Structure 1
Amino acid sequence: MIRTLGLLRSLAIYWRPGRQHGLRRMYAPFVSSGDLVFDVGAHMGDRTRAFSDLGCRVVAVEPQPHLVPWLKRLAGGRSQVSIRCEAVGRAPGRASMAVSRKNPTVSTLSGSWRERVTTAMTGFEGVAWDTEEEVEVTTLDRLIRRYGVPRFCKIDVEGWEAEVLAGLSVPIRGVSVEFVSGALDVARECVGLLEALGPYEFNAVAGEGRSWHHEGWLRPAGILDWLEAGADDLPTGDLYARLTAAPGGGPTTGGGME
């Protein structure tokens, strides 16, 4: 019963009417029909569906086995969508995931993140991670060897974002990672990992919003200063990164709303 209530909660949040239109509008400047996208932490598949509706080929990765049937039902069933039941990290293997049956959206592989958000963030005090599940772990590099380099990679894995990027050795044109106010060091680490791969610039979206927080895109030093200063006290959001030069030299084309 608890798990069923958790699934219903996720359905209400991520599949509410009108949400898909906003997601498509957000992602359209980053991708074109036929592009490859990785959705890491696909959960209930709302973003997988948005990318698919834009004509993209999508590899949706979700480690919680009880979510995969819903992911297949809501976002699968299309030839251009591949669903993988595993986590992504810095090295292949197995890992223990702390699962919240009542709030499956905050299930996490990061013990330190879980400890910090429960003490630093309003709304997490009552979250219970009441079971552990061992999950398979792959890497972005392995996914790239299997499917190719994606045009965009969305990463939303509850404090595990830097671990995901640590398993990447080639630049991706567009990347998004979730951040939360109680663990901004994870976002700062993500910026450093991306900066080591190529010339990126950054912006942010507050919460589940659909507009840029900064008027212009920031260089790594600028976004790091913003994060170090507390990210304008945003409780949660997504950090977006886009390459300013294509791998191998020339300028990129497209790459996010201006």
Structure 2
Amino acid sequence: MPFFSRTWGLLRSLAIYHGIPWRAAQLRRFYAPVVPAGGLAFDVGAHAGNRVRAFRALGARVVAVEPQPDFVALLSRWFARDAGVTVLPVALGREAGQAQLLASEATPTVSTLSADWAQRAGATASFQGVRWSPGPVVPVTTLDALMAQHGRPDFIKIDVEGFELEVLQGLSQPVPALSFEFLAPVRDLALGCIDRLEALGRYRYQWSVGEQLRLQPEVALDADAMRAWLRGLPDDAPSGDILARLDGEAGAQAGGLTAAAIKG
């Protein structure tokens, strides 16, 4: 049964992230303002690799970070001949070491390193029916270590199911742009991410709901306004991603991001 459950979970993930014909073009338009040609992107929680493909199509080098062995095998096969993609079979956290993955075999993209997040998110309607069980012990490194080895990224996408703040605790310098997930019932994690980023530099913020790939609002918010928006969300609000850019980059490219969001 575990084998069939894992296989079904992988096939379902591939259908969701690669089965919509126009989604690849949407992703390219959405990320183009923050992932420059010739630049570097870190995809933390690369999962089924649709963002890796988008970043490569935009001409950026990509470091794909993914601790789940099944996804690592897929990514390694797909990008084996692409010198612009480095697949790392690790997780990220505040310090190097090891951690046990909580695996969701039927829905592998919500596997997590955070037992607290699994308990809290699992109690919500959005995760009804999702079950986690002890998975493999995986190596953990940090964003600082990745940057020391691969260079300072232009953009970091972080999608690690409740471990986003832990990942950012392993970053000691500002980066031009990054995104992290928010989920209303556990919004304290997203608020913590904002606090962490503001300790590194001054950022401007926008959000995108679900997989809509549309940024809101048109004019990026400062940290206080972003916190207020998060605190005002009802618990049943849909999840999404928050895009944060250093204040200088945000001002320079605001028009491009708005146009990309509308086209998406």
Could you say which TM-score interval applies, normalised by the shorter chain? over 0.9
Q: CA deviation at 1:68?
A: 0.9
Letter of the structure 2 residue corresponding to residue 209 of structure 1? Q
Q: Which residue of structure 2 aligns with residue 257 of structure 1?
A: 257
SS of residue matched to 1:257: helix
Q: Partner letter of residue 175 of structure 1? A: L
SS of the residue corresponding to residue 48 of structure 2 reads coil
Give 1:190 shift. Answer: 0.4
For 2:261, the equivalent position in structure 1 comes to none
Pair 1:157 & 2:156 matched: no
For 2:199, the equivalent position in structure 1 comes to: 196
Aligned equivalents of 1:126, 1:222: Cα separation in 2: 34
1:31-80 CA-to-partner distances (Å, cap 9, x unmatched) read: 21110110000001100110011000000000001211112234553111
Match of 1:207 in 2: 210
- Are positions 1:143 and 2:142 aligned together? no
Pairs aligned (count): 253
- Give me the whole-angstrom Cα distance separating, in 2, the residues matched to 1:149 and 1:23: 22
- The change in CA–CA distance for 1:199 and 1:123 in structure 2 (over 3 A counts) is closer
Structure 1 length as normaliser, TM-score? 0.94
CA distance in 1: counterparts of 2:198 and 2:234, whole angstroms: 19
Q: What is the Cα deviation at residue 232 of structure 1?
A: 8.7
Give the secondary-structure state (helix, strand or coil) at the position aligned to 1:216: strand
Equivalent position to 2:176, from 170, 173, 189 = 173
Long gaps (5+) in structure 1: none
Measured in 2, the distance between the counterparts of 1:144 and 1:98 equals 27
Could you tell me which of 84, 88, 96 is aligned with 1:84? 88
Deviation at 1:114, TM superposition (A): 0.5
Q: Is the 8 A contact 2:6 2:106 kept in 1?
A: yes
Unaligned runs of 5+ in 2: 259-264
CA contact (8 A) 1:173 1:243 kept: yes
Provide the C-alpha distance between the structure 1 equivalents of 2:28 and 2:48, rounded to a whole number of angstroms.
16
Counterpart AA for 1:257: L
The match for 1:130 is 133
Distance in 1 (alpha carbons) for counterparts of 2:100 and 2:225: 35
Equivalent in 47, 54, 62 of residue 51 of structure 2: 47
State the SS of the aligned residue for 1:52: helix
Q: Secondary structure at the match of 1:214?
A: strand
Counterpart amino acid of 2:212? G
Alignment partner for residue 101 of structure 2, among 97, 103, 111? 97
Instruction: Report the structure, 1 or 2, having the larger helix content.
Output: 2
